[in-house]
Structure 1
Amino acid sequence: MLTVVILYLFFAILLYFLLGGADFGAGIIELFTSNNNKTRTRRTMYEAIGPIWEANHMWLIIAVVILFVGFPTIYSNMCTYLHIPLLIMLLGIIARGTAFSFRNYDAIKDDKWQDLYNHIFVYSSFITPLFLGIIAGSVISRQIDPNATDYLNTYIFSWLNWFSIAVGFFTVALCGFLAAIYLIGEAKEQFDVTRFIKKAVIMNAAAVAFGGLVFLAAEVENVHLAHWIFGNPVSLIAVIAASVSLVLLWYLLNKGKTKVIRILAAFQVSMILLSVGYRHYPNIIMVKGGNNLSVLKDHAPMTTITDLGWGLLLGSLMILPALGYLFYSFQRKNNIV
């Protein structure tokens, strides 16, 4: 049952990044859209993220519950040493969701409050994935020091380092790329399709640039990223698959296949995550001094894991059909409109 719980944890994280990442990316796209086109972008964005913008956080909640119940040592360490970026990320999620609702359902659409909602939405859409990436970079950078005796080394430099920040900006670029690709398929007019293609090109270039910065920062911070990715066949195959899927994505986009490219974008991001995560599995947190926290040894008692596993399996029987019906309902609504 431990394997089942671990699979649910990893799939919840993956789905949150693919769906929630594209959700955040829509705000990033709006942030870098000219004032003349912001209204058009918002209209397309509402149709694209409408069915998933609240449901996305279900995957984050599932991941948090799994860590809290099944891996309390890992959970407590993350909440202790990374509580500052975690708090900023959670505040960003709250601010973004609140602003999205207020600006969409506010009875008055042309007052100064709308400007405030818009600013909160786009900047929290940028900040949230930035700190999500910083957290991800921090848990594998070996900057967390359980033996630190001062505040800065314990709670600040555990995440405020070049590698984690580079991963944060790389995450922002990936989210923007995912959103642009998803929005291409939702656009109804060729003018909007062309705009979103340009955004996808820009975000793709930004992801490549920040990806290079991640490798450079890894060398500076003595993180063995290149060895993890290119030092084993699975990660290497994943990198090749991501590269091939990206080429295929742009080829199909030039052919006008705007729907299937979403699958390729999601596949590419999944391969990127696999290439990084495979080498240091089962370690989730890699701390300074060589000690690691692993999902295979730092878990709750097996009775707890068994109960959690059955809870996840039975819960899926209710959650997944409901989620599928949610997508179906919004798709049917859009077709009718």
Structure 2
Amino acid sequence: MFGIVVLFLAVSLLFYCLFGGADFGAGILEGFAGKRYRSKGRKLTYTAIGPIWEANHMWLILVVVILFMAFPKVYTVVSIHLHIPITIMLIGIVLRGCFFTFRHYDAVKDKSQRYYSWIFVLSSIISSLFLGIIAGAATLGRIDTSTTSFYEGFIYPWFNEFSFAVGIFACCIFSFLAAVYLIGETQEEELRKYLLNQALKANIVTVVAGGLVFLAAKINGFHLIDLLLSHLFSALCLLLATISLPILWIALRKRQVILPRILAGFQVLMILTAWLWLQYPAVINLQNGPDLTLFNTVAPQATIQVLGWALIVGSMLILPALYYLLRSFKFNTSAE
């Protein structure tokens, strides 16, 4: 059952990046939209994420529950030493959901719509940024569980160039993911060309942000390039993500819908796989002792057995319901 639990953890993280990340990315793109396209883009966002935006956070909840049940020490260290970025991210998620709802369902369309929109955009950026910051802090290895200093215990692990570079990279790739997804949601030629341009810009800044991650790692004394070269599978994953880019753009130019979305998702999968493989079996790299791994933090076997069966049974209920939700609100709409 241990393998089943780890698989669900990895898949939940991937699905949150693919669905929740695209959700955040749609909000980020709106913030950079020109006045001419802002209204159209907003309506397209409603159509694209309106029916499913709440369901996206189910994957984040699964990640938290699995860590709490199966790897309690990891959950404890993360929730204590990274509680500031976690809290900021959660505030962003809550504000984003609230003001998306206020803007969409407010019966009175007045100046308050402007504030709703800006809070929606800013919270989308904040949520994405701090999700990446948390991932960067878990990788960098500056968490010290023995310190009594507030700065060293709760600020130093995440307030650094590398963690913020990973956060910026997350914002960029989520924006690219959202742009590719949204292109297939419209039949209007002018709007489609605008979204293609947005996708191109997001693609370029994602590549630049990826370079900044390596630069920031060097500044912080984290030899990421050397680590990557010593893990050839991770390097291969990044190579495959890069090679798939021209294919994605060819498919977009041919006005295909499904293949570009699959390839965009594939790129996120490859980047996430490369990161997880670099970390494996570590989950959290510590500064003052042995890293927290999947093996030295695992819960008792009885707990893993119960959790594994709960995840299997739960997936048999949740996944068909999620498919029905998508089919009802998305597939039928796209067919029209």
Give the TM-score range, shorter chain.
over 0.9
One-letter amino acid of the counterpart of residue 219, structure 1: K
The farther-off stretch of 43-52 and 309-318 is: 43-52
Which residue of structure 1 aligns with residue 179 of structure 2? 180
Matches for 1:181-260 after TM superposition, within 5 Å? 181-260=180-259
Runs of 5+ unmatched residues, structure 1 = none
| Identity fraction in percent | 46
Contact map agreement 1:228 1:276 (CA 8 A) in 2 = no
Separation in structure 1 between the aligned mates of residue 211 and residue 201 of structure 2, nearest angstrom: 15
Q: CA–CA distance in 2 between the matches of 1:232 and 1:101?
A: 44
Once the two structures are TM-superposed, the CA of residue 148 in structure 1 deviates from its matched residue by 2.1
1:20-169 → structure 2 map (5 Å cutoff):
20-109=20-109, 111-169=110-168
Structure 1 counterpart of 2:273:
274
Q: Deviations over 1:247-278 (max 9, x none)?
A: 11011112222331000000011101111220
* Inter-partner Cα distance in structure 1 for 2:183 and 2:229: 33
1:70-109 per-residue CA deviation (whole Å, 9 max, x = no partner) reads 1110001000000000000000000000011111111112
What residue identity is the alignment partner of 2:251? L
Distance 1:243 1:249 in 2: 10
C-alpha separation between the residues in 1 aligned to 2:47 and 2:104? Answer: 12
Gaps of 5+ in 2: none
- How far the C-alpha of 1:149 sits from its partner, in A, is 2.5
1:280 CA drift (Å): 2.1
Comparing 81-90 and 290-299, the one that deviates more: 290-299
8 Å contact kept, 1:19–1:52 = no
TM-aligned CA deviation for residue 36 of structure 1:
2.3
| 2:298 equivalent to 1:299 | yes
> Residues 145 and 288 of structure 2 are in contact (CA less than 8 Å); yes or no, is this contact kept in structure 1?
no
Code of the aligned partner of 2:100: F
Q: Does the 8 A contact of 2:185 with 2:334 survive in 1?
A: no
Q: Deviations over 1:208-244 (max 9, x none)?
A: 1111110011111122321332222211221121011
Residue 326 of structure 1 corresponds to 325
Secondary structure of 1:115's counterpart equals helix
Aligned mates of 2:147, 2:251 — CA distance in 1: 52
* Residue deviations 1:129-171 (CA, integer Å, cap 9, x gap): 0000000000010111122231111101110011000000000
Partner SS state of residue 284, structure 1: strand
Aligned length: 336
Question: Deviating runs (4+, > 6 A) in structure 1?
Answer: none
Instruction: Single out whichever of 178-187 and 325-334 deviates more from structure 2.
Output: 325-334
- How far apart are 1:333 and its partner, in Å? 4.8
- Give 2:4's aligned amino acid: V
Cα RMSD of the aligned pairs, angstroms, is 1.3
Deviation at 1:336, TM superposition (A): 7.6
